[in-house]
Chain A
Amino acid sequence: MAAVLGLIIGVVVGLFVRPDIPIFLQPYLPIMVVAALDALLGAARSYFERNFSDKVFVISFLSNVVTATLLVLLGNQLGVGSQLSTAVIVVLGIRIFSNVSAIRRFIFQG
């Protein structure tokens, strides 16, 4: 409930408030969004598995975002930013896929 409400609020606020993203944050925002999406889908999966913990969700959300951002930052400093961001995106994409398939199994029972 809270998650859906939050998503709706976020979309509405994002549609009406358009701040200028600071330049140093621009390469990280898409990665952060993907990492947060992964955390959200993981939470949905655990909700279907009936072992959802809000504490775990909050921590995994934040740690996902921070880890992804730090990885890309590290890559930028080492000169392999684009490759490392690709790697992060790939890994998160794989996780999103596995989460979605787990959720699907719970919904369709198979």
Chain B
Amino acid sequence: MGNAHTPPQPPRDEPDVGGQPAQEPDLIKKIVSQHNKDKVNDNTQTGAFPVVGKRKAKAKGKVKRLSTSSRSLKARLGTGVLIAVLCALLAYGYVIQINNKDLTYETMSETELTRLISESNTQVQRLEQRKAELTRQLNSLEEAADKEAQAAQIAKENEEASGILSGRLPAHGKGIVVRITQGTKAPIDASTMFNLIEELRNGGAEVIAINNVRVVTSTYVSESDNGLICDGKLLEAPYVVKAIGDPSNLQNAVNLAGGVGSRLTVKYGATVTTEVSDDVNITQTQLVERYKFAKIVE
């Protein structure tokens, strides 16, 4: 404000100075000197930062000239070596720090450590959750695998059972072997032979074979001029009937009084011998027939 107010004053003084030059020279001198003083006093520039750059530059130049000219070679060599040593230290520290890979927890502050601990805790929790999830998955997969294995086992058992039943697979086990010679009175007819098979079945025979024919559900016995025909194959005496099942039951079924055994001996004059064996081997097999009409009910 003061600065803005002072400029209008000098123009008002100047006309006064110009207006009375000849009247009082002393006064004019006084006014002029006062004016000059005011100018100096009104100077707003502060002296806080005197400009001393030039002198400093001069001094610097002097030092430089001094350092380059007056110092001995020995001193310069010494400082050079010192510089080299310092730079070597710097590079050495740099390389060491680069290779210093192990992060030591000793240098960390408390807050950093707590943060690290909490972070790792949350990570552990997350990993445990993931582990539980994966374990559950593994368990379910194992269960599925178990189920599959069970199914496969059952399927295999079924296959064996049905294979034996349909005559696709050879079988062995406890049972009896019946040997029937050709009848002396008359040739053995088909119905009697079929009767024998039925009796054996009633006695609980699981697998039956006559000579080289495996007896299955569709087996038939018929007569021809040459003899008995079973499933298209000619049966020749003596007939060997093998049956796997409870031996005593089977024996009873054959040797029952008035049964098929006695009929064979009495009516046809054949000799019937039954032999109990712990290991009757039936190696004859039948081809599986394809069902034309029957279909599985689903």
Chain A residues at the B interface, C-beta cutoff of 8 Å: 1-11, 13-15, 18-19, 21, 23, 26-27, 29-30, 32-33, 36-37, 40, 51, 53-55, 57-58, 61-62, 79, 81-82
Contacts and interface: CB of A to CB of B under 8 A. Distances in A.
B85 to A, nearest CB: 6
B141 to A, nearest CB: 49
Given A7-B88, A13-B88, A23-B106, A58 B99 contact: no
24 contacts: A2-B84, A4-B87, A6-B89, A6-B90, A7-B91, A10-B92, A10-B93, A10-B94, A13-B88, A19-B96, A21-B96, A21-B100, A29-B97, A36-B86, A40-B87, A40-B90, A53-B67, A54-B80, A54-B83, A55-B67, A58-B79, A58-B83, A58-B86, A82-B109
B87 A51 contact: no
B6 interface: no
A1 B87 CA distance: 11
A12 B33 CA distance: 77
Contact of A6 (B64, B84, B97): B84
B48 to A, nearest CB: 26
A2 B99 contact: no
A52 to B, nearest CB: 9
Nearest to B67: A53
A82 B111 CA distance: 10
Interface residues of B, number: 31
B60 to A, nearest CB: 7
B112 A82 contact: yes
B95 interface: yes
B95 A6 contact: no
B83 A11 contact: no
Contact of A7 (B90, B97, B99, B106): B90
Contacts of A29: 93, 96-97, 100
Nearest to A13: B92
Interface string B57-98: 000100110010000000010011111111111111111110
Contacts of A54: 76, 79-80, 82-83
Contacts of B94: 10-11, 14, 33, 37
A24 B33 CA distance: 73
Given A23-B106, A51-B64, A81-B109, A10 B80 contact: no
Contacts of B100: 21, 26, 29
Nearest to A4: B87
A95 to B, nearest CB: 15
Given A33-B93, A54-B79, A58-B79, A3 B84 contact: yes
Contacts of A81: 109
B90 A37 contact: yes
